[in-house]
Every structure is written in structure tokens, then in C-alpha cells.
Amino acid sequence: MSATAFYVTAELAVSDPARVDEARQALQQLCWHTQQESGCLRFELQQDVAQPTRFVLWECFVDEAAFLRHFELPHTRAYLALGLTVVVQHFQTRAIVPTPPLVAAAEVTRYQRGWDKLKQVDGEAGERVIAALQDIAPALAHYTIAFPFGEVYQDPVLTLKEREIATVAALAALGNATPQLKVHLHGALNVGCSRAEIIALLTQMAVYAGFPAAINGVLAAKEVFAERDAA
């Protein structure tokens, strides 16, 4: 249906409540005739369930001239002559053309899955990271949730505890990701790692990533433990 067509919404009230059925039948016949008009694109009748004396007509004509011609036709004149209804309001509207969402529906679903998983794993620490990105890089915040947590973390092959152990090890080995390491240290504790397991894991990084990485990792863990104790 064209967005440039002539749209009208009309609310009608039955003039005599005892004649509701008669009014409905007359409106139904008016709808049938009007829908046959060459200039009519839509003429739909609805009755208020809670207030049966109230009707709404959704009307659409190819242009305003077709709408005005509608009132000159015999079936419209015959209906009006019955005096069964009065117009409560009658106003022109316009069609709002649908536009594609900025993010596809599938992406929204993936984002929501990711957000739920982020809260499960990293809790408030992860939410704070995302919040810090929203005002400067909202797309990056979206990707940070939708891909790792909305996709990778959904794979059931590894448990959340195993995933966080792997993540903590990788971030500690990088040596330049302390803020992210602290977030995932919280995450590891949230999903079942003990403090002893975390210290053992970070100590092992001395073998494969060097003593500086292991020491920095342990110091980051010390801060996380203190934060949790304070809370």
C-alpha cells in the first residue's frame, strides 16, 4: 500500500444504543460497497469489545479526490441517511514506511544472549567495562558482547570455569591487559574457581610467559581478592 495514499481514521458512536446491531450491519454493508470502489485501497471496520457502541473505520484511498467521491456515491448516502451513527472524531493520518532495523533481528538475539552470559560470568565488573565504552565506542561495546559472549561462550564443550581459566591464562600471558585480567579474575571466581586455583594458574605463567607476567598477574589477583573482601 502506497505511503502517499490518502489515509483517514474515523471513530463512530451509535446514536441509539438500542440499535447497535442495526448500526453494525449497516456499517458492514457500507464496508462491502466501499471496498468495491476503484479508488479505495482499504476500508476496515472494528468494533470496541468493551464498548460495543463504539466503532472505528480505518480508511485508505488512492488520493483525496477518491475519498471525497466516496461521500457522493449512493451506498454512502444511503448509509448516512439512516442516521445510525455520529462521528466522534475523523482525522487524516499517514502511513509510516517500515525501515530495516539498525541491527538485524538475529544480531539482537545474539547480543541479548551475550549480555545474559556476560552478567552470569563477569557480573558488575563486566558491565562496568561495557558502560565505559558506550559513550565513546558503542559499536565496540556491542561487538564485545555479541561475539565472545553471544557466540563463543555459548559452546557447551567447555564449562564456564574452564573458559575463565583459559581466559585468565591468556590475559596474564599478554602482560599488557591488566584491566581485562582483573575483570576475568572476578569472572573466574564467579564461576567456581578458588583463590588457590587462580594463584596456581598465575604461578604457572612464569614457566610459559615469564616471571614478570606471573608476578603482575598475582598482584592483579591480590587487588581483586581485596576488592571482594571489602565488598
Per run of 10 residues, the mean pLDDT along the chain (length 231 residues) is 81 96 97 95 95 95 95 96 94 77 74 89 84 86 91 94 97 95 95 97 97 97 96 82
What was the pLDDT predicted at 42? 93
DSSP H or E run through 133: helix 123-134
Structural contact between residues 209 and 176, judged by C-beta atoms closer than 8 angstroms: no
Structural contact between residues 55 and 23, judged by C-beta atoms closer than 8 angstroms: yes
What was the pLDDT predicted at 209? 96
Structural contact between residues 221 and 188, judged by C-beta atoms closer than 8 angstroms: no
Question: Per-residue pLDDT tens for 104-121?
Answer: 777 778 888 998 999 899
What was the pLDDT predicted at 132? 86
Cα separation, 231 vs 229, in Å, equals 5
Cα separation, 231 vs 226, in Å, equals 9
Cα separation, 79 vs 29, in Å, equals 9
**One-letter amino acid for residue 39 of the chain:** G
Contacts of 66 (CB under 8 A, 6+ apart): 6, 37, 38, 39, 40
- Among 79, 88, 86, which Cα is nearest to 29's? 79
Kindly report the backbone phi and psi dihedral angles of residue 54, in degrees, each rounded to the nearest multiple of 5, phi listed first.
Answer: -110, 130
Question: Per-residue pLDDT tens for 119-156?
Answer: 899 888 888 888 888 888 888 988 999 999 999 999 99
Cα separation, 71 vs 35, in Å, equals 13
Residues in the chain: 231
Kindly report the backbone phi and psi dihedral angles of residue 88, in degrees, each rounded to the nearest multiple of 5, phi listed first.
Answer: -80, -45
* Strand ranges, E, within 22-114: 40-47, 54-61, 85-93
What was the pLDDT predicted at 33? 97
What was the pLDDT predicted at 136? 87
